[in-house]
Chains A and B, each alone.
Chain A
Amino acid sequence: MFVLLRQLQRIRAQAGLHRTDTPGWLAIRHVDAGSCNACEHELGLLTSPWHDLQRFGLDLVASPRHAELLLITGPVTTRMVGPLLSAYEAMPEPRLVGALGDCALGCNLLGEAASMVGSVAALLPVDVQIPGCPPSPEAIATALLRALAERAR
């Protein structure tokens, strides 16, 4: 255990993360609406020691009822439309919607038209756009922090 903790301490030192004074807090609920899982891998790394997103007041929450931002990946398959809209309905107002990755933004989609809606914007108003295939953890963090700062203004 001590070796692990020392290793983590060293990683923190190498990562050179700084404390910030970003105002407030943003609770994020992620929904996979048909992605290839690469966006999920990168989003999951945001809470790892190299990035540690929680220090900015951002966190991934389990329930849409606790969320302020719904972060959606994938081209929205027809089978995920229902569950996605239920999650959106369950959120308190005011609520934000983020499209994470090229698929969610409707770019370079693969698959048959009958199985997909095509992009998040076809279903919900999108406030935060994060392009990339997949966007790197840094790119996701930058976009989320911008959303946090804009909301605080």
Chain B
Amino acid sequence: MTQLQTVAADAWRTQIEAAITQRGERFGGAWVTADRHWRALLVKGADARVISCQAGERVDSIVDLVPAAGWDEREAHDLHALSFDGHDQLRALIEHPTQGERWITPVRGDGVHQVAVGPIHAGVIESGHFRFHVVGERILHLDTRLFYKHRGLEQAAVGSTPQEGLRHAGRACGACAVANSLAYAHAVEDASGLWPSPELRRQRTVLLELERVYNHLNDISAICAGVGYAAGTMAFAAHKDRAQNLNARAFGHRFLFGSVAVGGAARALPAPAAAELRGGLAELRGDVLASWRELEFAGSLHARMDAVGVLPAEAALRLGTVGPAARAAGVAIDARVGERRLEYDALRPAAAPRPDGDVEARFQLRAAELEVSFELLDELLRAPLPASAATRGLRASPVGVGRVESPRGETVCIVELQAGRVGRLHLRSAAYANWPSVAHASAGNLLPDFPLINKSFELCYACCDR
């Protein structure tokens, strides 16, 4: 059960400050409710709690205490007209004003000019705009202007039944469909006092790791593409395709759409299918390992990644970075560790092969994490996955919270039920948490290295924009 503590609006800053500095909690997102409460999630290890205040139209900013809350405050202003005292200048995030000064950081000096890229990019890439401030080829600062793909999924989910609401979370992003659906299912189950059975925990863990496998394969391919190392790009694209074919054979969909249900399993995986999947994964694992060994010894590949796009540990902590990007910087944040709603007892998180926070570190960490996921799947698929349901008996939480480690990091879903229907859905994906880190890691690098830096984070636009 998730605790909800309501505090006075004028105590908001002191409460957040105490949580961060005295209790050692971490900011996990903030959102506005229908009755204009301003709420924040505070995370410590596997536990999380919510603090809330009646905000009305203005509330004190916490962005100086918690820089990770910067985007949350800007979003609350753009979508819910909540103003923040002390957040100067509150730049537009989701709104797209025509006046440049409302969203572009002023950068002055000799020879400084702007380079505008997007929203449509040169390849098969999602839409988003980057405004680089450069001198020559050196990036001084990057303003990201995303949310071109904003569909209003959170608003559209209001009033739907908890079962219907799943579609809005699940379709927020194709590549994170399991993570987002599962975060939503956990949130609804938290808000309704449901607890998953051991079989359900195991099945959901399998789905989450299958999603991680094909995504990490994709990301290794993408980083090779960023360097221009075609043999690596093609080999890992082919491996990813194979992983998705295995998904389709076992669960009926290459992106595992429709494999997660609220309060139970969407489908069973009988013994022959589980054995087939396990065998297919073992075969794939061998080929991936052989390809990876080749990449390890490709000197020209590594020469491009060393000391490029560095995100230091201190910056990762300050910006609230999550997932492989944080772990590659030496910040061991992983929502899988200690997660009791899933079956991660056997998880031995990969040690970062080099915790330097550069492109090379993120590249190597993905390969190490792939091995961990293959190992976990091999263990979890020894037995069939019967269809099983969650059981009642817990106390329902006033605010449902789901936290799941997606391939890109911790994804948080908030569901507040009103009279049995969705009153508020908020999805704060790992991509949303990590976009400011991409801009931070790009500063000081060369403009032609940006595609490589960007691909080493490989963030989604869709589940950020929603």
Contact = CB atoms under 8 A, between A and B. Distances in A.
B174 A111 contact: no
Contacts of B172: 36
B122 A50 contact: no
Contacts of B108: none
Interface residues of B, number: 48
B151 interface: yes
Residue of A37, A45, A74 ringed by the most chain B CB atoms within 10 A: A37
Given A3-B293, A36-B173, A49 B150 contact: no
Interface stretch (B123-131, B324-332, B353-361, B377-385): B123-131
A7 interface: yes
A31 B461 CA distance: 14
Interface residues of A, number: 46
B156 interface: yes
Interface in A1-40: 1, 3-5, 7-8, 11, 30-40
A107 B56 CA distance: 39
B231 A5 contact: yes
A11 B245 CA distance: 14
B451 interface: no
Nearest to A115: B152
Among B119, B168, B175, B240, max chain A CB count under 10 A is at: B119
A3 B254 CA distance: 28
A16 to B, nearest CB: 14
B153 A110 contact: yes
Contacts of A112: 151-152, 155-156
Contact of A80 (B148, B235, B241, B287): B148
Interface of A: 1, 3-5, 7-8, 11, 30-45, 48-50, 60, 62-63, 74-75, 77, 79-80, 83, 87, 110-112, 114-116, 133-134, 136-137
21 contacts: A1-B231, A7-B290, A7-B291, A11-B238, A34-B127, A35-B174, A37-B173, A37-B460, A37-B462, A41-B174, A41-B255, A45-B240, A77-B151, A79-B148, A79-B149, A83-B120, A83-B148, A110-B153, A110-B171, A115-B151, A137-B241
